[in-house]
């Protein structure tokens, strides 16, 4: 069975989930394992040379290369000739796409920019256009701040400014494609590439998406598609579909005023009760609580962070078995959720959800190896309500299921 591929977080920012985009600088020094991206991103290569595979197709990387990755695409850095230093811009695709669709080209047709990005995910702009792209990246850095240095750069009308720069970046990307002669159309094979299954699911997860539909589109049996999805992500078809829907639900809650009933219809849930139940089980809070928690806030009170940080870490570590949430923990310490995440990122390099789940999974790992407790009992012991939730987080951190982890260690012994 192939190794499970890691799925990156659906959050654009680990500090503030309501941000439209985040900015950072990163370095890759050696080839990476495959990654499934839940959020769209641009990478501007500043130094180094190598090769990246996007949806099973290889592309060369060099200083000045601009890489565009869409949600639920799979990437792997397959070669690093010189360490790759790059700027990373993670953004909310659905909001940007709605803005782009409000514009029309000279022929009166809606802009189909995502088609061009999918066809040409790596471009090398000529010098003058590259300089314009560089200026856009620096403007976004100044506006958004740096994730890794915990910069907070909230400014008046910030979301409008960020969206304006993202639109400019897409326009330049389109012009680079046109200048290089890229047609913008994907080559059509007789049989669709199965690596496109995840992207197809994401694009159509608001419909009554079934394995039968995927079988007809990709010329594969339902059993083969189900096995491919589970082997790739560690999740069943239904769990992965819910994961995608939850990501879209969270963004709609942040950036629209749709009612729960309207969201259920838009996103393919049975009814308001269904969306509420699925969202609460996955995120750990009710829909209205989530909206309230991550609503945009103004200035927040400063705290004595050097002392408070240790108290927060100790509190989570001590009470990880309880029904802890980011909101309840933040309220206990008299702060907002973004402030809680900022303090934890500084102290343990993880936000609230990441740290809580890491504590729980580490404890679960110990119990799996040192006791004969069932996986269900282990889940309940570490604070999860069912085995599905334990398995989902276990797969994300260990890239294997709890039972596989227990079996593999016993086999080694």
Query: What number of other Cβ atoms are within 10 A of residue 365's Cβ?
Result: 19
Place 357 in a pLDDT band, splitting at 50, 70 and 90.
Answer: very high
Give CA–CA dist 146/294, Å, rounded. Answer: 20
pLDDT at res. 302: 36
Q: Are 368 and 378 in contact (CB under 8 A)?
A: yes
Report d(CA 206, CA 242) in Å as an integer: 10
Q: Indicate whether 110 pLDDT > 60.
A: no
Average model confidence (pLDDT) across the chain: 83
Q: What is the pLDDT, as a whole number, of residue 103?
A: 63
H/E stretch holding 38 = none
- The 10s digit of each residue's pLDDT in 166-211 is 999 999 998 888 776 543 333 444 446 787 898 888 878 777 788 9
Q: What is the mean pLDDT of residues 388-401?
A: 90
DSSP conformation letters of 210-254: -HHHHHHHHT--HHHHHHHHHHHHSS-HHHHHHHHHHHHHHHHHH
Percent of the chain's residues with pLDDT above 90: 37
Q: Strand 35-36 and strand 6-7: pairing? A: parallel
What was the pLDDT predicted at 186?
Answer: 37
State the pLDDT at residue 57: 92
Strand duo 21-28 + 74-91: pairing: antiparallel
What's the CA gap between 346 and 358, in Å, rounded?
16
The pLDDT of residue 89 is above 90: yes
Cα separations (Å) of 359 from 31, 159, 288, 324?
29, 34, 27, 12
295 neighbors 331 (Cβ within 8 angstroms): no
Other C-beta atoms within 10 Å of 162: how many?
A: 25
Alpha-carbon distances, residue 346 vs 293, 318, 341, 350 (angstroms): 21, 20, 9, 8
Distance (Å, whole) CA 215 – CA 153:
47
| Tokens read off for 341 | 């995440």
CA–CA separation, 112 and 96 (whole Å): 12
Q: Which residue has the tokens 């200035």?
A: 299
Q: What percent of the chain has pLDDT over 70?
A: 87
Instruction: Describe the crossing of helices 237-255 and 197-204 by its angle, rounded to 10 degrees.
Output: 50
Q: Determine contact, residues 291/253, Cβ cutoff 8 Å.
A: yes
Nearest in space to 246 (alpha carbons), one of 214, 196, 206: 206
């Amino acid at each position: 069975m192939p190794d499970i591929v890691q799925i990156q977080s659906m959050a654009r920012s680990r500090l503030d989930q309501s941000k439209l985009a985040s900015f950072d600088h990163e370095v890759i020094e050696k080839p990476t394992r495959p990654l499934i991206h839940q959020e769209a991103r641009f990478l501007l290569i500043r130094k180094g040379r190598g090769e990246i595979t996007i949806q099973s197709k290889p592309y060369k990387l060099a200083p000045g290369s601009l890489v565009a990755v869409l949600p639920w695409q799979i990437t792997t850095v397959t070669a690093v000739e010189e360490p790759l230093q790059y700027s990373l811009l993670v953004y909310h695709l659905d909001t940007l796409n709605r803005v782009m669709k409000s514009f029309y080209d000279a022929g009166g047709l809606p802009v189909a920019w995502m088609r061009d990005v999918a066809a040409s995910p790596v471009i090398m702009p000529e010098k003058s256009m590259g300089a314009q792209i560089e200026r856009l990246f620096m403007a976004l850095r100044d506006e958004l701040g740096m994730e890794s240095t915990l910069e907070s750069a909230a400014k008046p009308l910030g979301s409008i400014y960020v969206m304006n720069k993202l639109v400019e970046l897409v326009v330049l990307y389109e012009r680079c494609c046109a200048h290089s002669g890229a047609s913008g159309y994907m080559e059509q094979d007789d049989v669709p590439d199965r690596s496109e299954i995840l992207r197809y699911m994401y694009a159509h997860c608001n419909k009554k998406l079934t394995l039968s539909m995927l079988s007809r589109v990709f010329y594969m049996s339902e059993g083969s598609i189900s096995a491919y999805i589970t082997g790739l992500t560690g999740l069943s078809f239904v769990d992965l579909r819910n994961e995608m829907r939850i990501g879209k639900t969270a963004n709609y809650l942040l950036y629209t005023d749709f009612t729960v009933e309207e969201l259920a219809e838009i996103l393919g849930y049975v009814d308001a009760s269904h969306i509420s139940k699925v969202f609460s089980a996955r995120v750990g809070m009710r829909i209205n609580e989530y909206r309230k928690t991550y609503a945009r806030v103004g200035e927040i009170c400063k705290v004595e962070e050097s002392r408070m940080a240790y108290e927060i870490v100790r509190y989570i570590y001590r009470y990880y078995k309880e029904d802890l949430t980011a909101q309840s923990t933040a309220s206990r310490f008299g702060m907002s959720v973004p402030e809680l995440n900022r303090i934890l990122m500084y102290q343990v390099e993880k936000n609230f959800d990441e740290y809580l789940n890491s504590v729980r999974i580490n404890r679960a790992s110990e119990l799996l190896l040192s006791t004969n407790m069932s996986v269900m009992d282990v889940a309940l012991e570490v604070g999860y309500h069912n085995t599905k939730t334990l398995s989902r987080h276990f797969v994300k951190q260990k890239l294997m299921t709890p039972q596989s982890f227990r079996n593999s260690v016993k086999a080694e012994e």
